[in-house]
Structure 1
Amino acid sequence: MNSFYHLCFVVQDIELATEDLTRTLGVTWSPVRAGTLGDWDYSIVFSVEGPPFFEVIQGPVGSPWDATEGSRFDHIGYWSNDVMADKQRLADRGAQIEFDSCPYGRSFTYHRLDSIGARIELVDLAVQPGFRDTWAQDVAAMPPLDLDELNRLPGEVEPPGHGGGHRFRSGPPGQDPMTSA
């Protein structure tokens, strides 16, 4: 499985959300920063601990981080060697592009997976040094998503009647797949 580098929550109140995560899970935070994308001003923060990091964003109505219907888990973030190619590959695999920042001069995309009620974010690997300088100075370089690596693993089988897409790991009868490697 490819390594993701963050989990993001879109929230109505960034201070309350980070305080709750600190109180309940002991998460520590970098300073909250202001950002702008197009006409949208937003607040963003990453956990000190990671990867994977927690990301919390508070954005305005109509933005990709609109939380008027309530705070939520929003996305899983991956680095990408080639956002242009990988965004099409994810779309071809059923993760449709919901937001593309490229027209705004940035290089990340959000892809909707309705089955999990969340998105996948691809972020250009070229901006990772800036991310590390800003949010994670002591963190080593993080690997990008490798869509070519998503091949069948030893012991995986394709269920009968499936033309692909769903893969299952086989195991001894009676073995609990949730607790067994």
Structure 2
Amino acid sequence: MTAFYHVCFVVPDIEQAMQDFQRSAGVEWSDPACDRLGEWDYRIAFTAGGPPFIELIQGPPRSPWDASKGARFDHIGFWTSDLRQGSRRLEEAGMPMDFSGCPYGRPFAYHQVDSIGARIELVDVSRQAGFLSRWHPGENPMAAIDETSRS
């Protein structure tokens, strides 16, 4: 099972990207959060209002979210009930794994899809409740889970 829940842009300036998205499309944003994965510190924000979400990531050079050559559409995110099987299926379909968060204790993987010039991100569904409580607080998380499962 996979369920679509977000699109992501990698940006060199998260505040500017949030302002531009808000002015152009009227979207509201969560406050950006700082996090670390391996050796990389990064900043991340999601749109408020529920799935599907827009994600912005500002990461350092040579990280999985390097925007030193400019902002770009980076990936489409899907929940998966079996990360290993989902990754194997994508690799067999000619979409090689580009990066895995698993060695860092984060159950997600990026797969390169050359035909769209971006990546597919698979995230283990075990992270869904925590994600929703952090980025979609005050809403019934089960309603959001049921909605993305129907996609």
2:81 equivalent to 1:75 = no
Which residue does 1:48 correspond to in 2?
A: 48
Deviations 1:68-100 (A, max 9, x none): 111000000000101111111111111110001
**Conserved 8 A contact 2:8-2:56:** yes
Partners of 2:117 and 2:50 in 1: CA distance: 24
Partners of 1:69 and 1:49 in 2: CA distance: 30
Identity fraction in percent: 52
Higher relative contact order (CA 8 A, sep 6+): 2
Partners of 2:49 and 2:55 in 1: CA distance: 11
Which protein has the bigger strand share?
Answer: 2
2:149 equivalent to 1:143 = yes
SS class of match (1:48): coil
Partners of 1:131 and 1:79 in 2: CA distance: 11
Which residue does 2:85 correspond to in 1?
A: 85
Q: CA deviation at 1:144?
A: 8.6
**Conserved 8 A contact 1:5-1:52:** yes
Which protein has the bigger helix share?
Answer: 2
Partners of 1:60 and 1:144 in 2: CA distance: 36
Which residue does 2:58 correspond to in 1?
A: 58
- AA at the equivalent of 1:54: I
Which residue does 1:8 correspond to in 2?
A: 8
- AA at the equivalent of 2:40: W
The structure whose Rg is larger is 1
Unaligned runs of 5+ in 2: none
Which residue does 2:18 correspond to in 1?
A: 18
Unaligned runs of 5+ in 1: 146-181
Give structure 1 regions of 4+ aligned residues with deviation exceeding 4 angstroms: none
Count of aligned pairs: 144
